[in-house]
């Protein structure tokens, strides 16, 4: 493997458990092993990370996966073509509602609240009762309009007949601000990554109603993002960066390393929150869905977690279309192909001897049981991935998929073309 064509890199991140690959690569020398000198910059918001990457203040960073797609299309800000050569994690977030709202939901529908995974149907009853009484709409927060958090919250609500744009208010707040806004009564709940749900539970502010892994098991979340211009100018540095972060992700995903990972993330330069709460969110999930362990199923490396599947990109784009964030004139296949670069992942990781997927897409939500990915350089054990409502996403037909929901803003054609 050749030396990187740029050694010194500045990478941004947000204080969340899923910044683990960056923190581990820095603390355990994986960057140095690949010939890189990396400085990590803790940022206050996702927009900060995106904008600093766009202007070159950062070479890359920890990004919301849909944000990379939105930025590349010029949706929600200036157009900055980005490259996603690596996924940083699967699962890891959850929806937390205030204790008062949870109480109202138990009163509205105790039978449904006792089931797992929990449906939003009790919430729909509370919303209807509040409307009848002339009370204000509920307010729920997400970390960014173009985020897995926004789409999984919308998916969960709409599956129970709640229109997230008409039946309540959705607002944006940075992850570290969620608990204080809940405490102040400014919001009634939120969808965020670890450890912020666990912190809300520990402070008695709320309860986890459903995990991301109960909405879409093995759903994507954060990615490594760099500009396309930087990726083209520094191919060797990018390859070294992919390898360093992939090796760090494998370390973070090793069960024996999770206690040490919690200690590392608790350091003030990373997440800076109590080690016990961080560890709780990294522990194996408890039987029966113990709310004290809200994101215990985060995956950094297993099940091809690092592979940037273009089917993931297309699912995000289908949700942008579904909720009116983009129009049908956008060539979804072309955007996914331009931004998500599984070829870069393969060229970086295959020399390490690890099996890698050879296809760029897969049907999402089609696997109720553990399964083996055979279209790979070596068999890869994959996990169940069935959506909450049982739908299957065919990456060849994202328009038809976006059309097929009763609640949504997209009512256009369902004719798909393949790039």
Domain ranges of the chain: 8-90+220-346, 93-215
Q: Which residues of the chain have pLDDT under 70?
A: 1-2, 284-296, 413-415, 417-419
Residue 197: CB partners within 8 Å, gap ≥ 6?
Answer: 93, 94, 96, 206, 208, 281, 294, 295
Q: Considering the domain 8-90+220-346, what is its CATH architecture? A: 3-Layer(aba) Sandwich (3.40)
Query: What tens digit of pLDDT does each residue of 46-79 get?
Result: 999 999 999 999 999 999 999 999 999 999 999 9
Q: Which fold has domain 93-215?
A: D-Maltodextrin-Binding Protein; domain 2 (3.40.190)
Q: Kindly state the helix (H) or strand (E) to which residue 171 belongs, with its residue range.
A: strand 169-172
Q: What is the pLDDT of residue 4?
A: 77
Domains 8-90+220-346 and 93-215 share a fold: yes
Beta strands at 93-98 and 189-193: parallel, antiparallel or unpaired: antiparallel
pTM, two decimal places: 0.95
Shortest CA distance to 406 belongs to which of 386, 389, 387? 389
DSSP assignment string, 282-330:
HSPPPTT--TTSTTTT-BSSTTTTTS--HHHHHHHHHHHHHTTSS-TTS
CA distances from 248 to 41, 136, 300 (A): 18, 46, 9
């Amino acid at each position: 493997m050749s030396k990187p064509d740029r050694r010194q890199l500045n990478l941004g991140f947000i204080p969340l458990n899923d910044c683990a690959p960056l923190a581990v690569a820095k603390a355990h020398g994986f960057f140095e092993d690949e010939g890189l000198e990396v400085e990590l910059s803790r940022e206050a918001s996702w927009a900060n990370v995106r904008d600093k990457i766009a202007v070159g203040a950062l070479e890359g960073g920890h990004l919301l996966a849909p944000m990379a797609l939105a930025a590349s299309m010029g949706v929600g800000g200036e157009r900055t073509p980005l490259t996603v050569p690596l996924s940083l994690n699967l699962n890891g977030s959850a929806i937390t509602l205030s204790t008062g709202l949870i109480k109202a939901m138990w009163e509205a529908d105790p039978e449904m609240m006792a089931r797992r995974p929990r449906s939003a149907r009790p919430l729909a009853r509370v919303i209807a009762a509040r409307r009848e009484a002339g009370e204000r709409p509920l307010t729920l927060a997400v970390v960014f309009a173009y985020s897995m958090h926004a789409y999984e919250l919308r998916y969960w609500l709409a599956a129970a007949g709640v229109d997230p744009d008409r039946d309540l208010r959705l607002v944006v707040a940075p992850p570290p601000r969620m608990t204080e806004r809940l405490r102040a009564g400014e919001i009634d709940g939120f969808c965020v990554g670890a450890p912020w749900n666990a912190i809300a539970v520990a402070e008695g502010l709320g309860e986890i109603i459903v995990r991301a892994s109960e909405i879409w098991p093995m759903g994507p979340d954060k990615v490594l993002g760099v500009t396309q211009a930087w990726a083209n100018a520094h191919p060797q540095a990018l390859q070294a960066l992919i390898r360093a972060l992939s090796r760090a992700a494998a370390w973070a995903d090793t069960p024996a390393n999770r206690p040490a990972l919690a200690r590392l993330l608790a350091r003030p330069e990373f997440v800076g929150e109590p080690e016990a709460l961080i560890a709780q969110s990294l522990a194996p999930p408890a039987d029966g869905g113990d709310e004290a362990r809200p994101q215990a199923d985060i995956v950094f490396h297993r099940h091809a977690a690092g592979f940037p599947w273009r089917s993931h990109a297309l699912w995000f784009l289908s949700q942008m279309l579904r909720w009116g964030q983009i129009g049908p004139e956008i060539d979804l296949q072309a955007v996914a192909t331009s931004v998500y670069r599984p070829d870069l992942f393969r060229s970086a990781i295959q020399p390490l001897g690890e099996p890698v997927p050879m296809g760029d897409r897969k049907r999402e939500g089609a696997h109720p049981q553990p399964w083996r990915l055979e279209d790979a350089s070596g068999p890869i054990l994959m996990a169940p991935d069935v959506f909450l409502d049982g739908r299957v996403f065919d990456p060849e037909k994202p328009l038809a998929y976006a059309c097929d929901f009763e609640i949504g803003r997209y009512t256009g054609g369902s004719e798909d073309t393949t790039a």
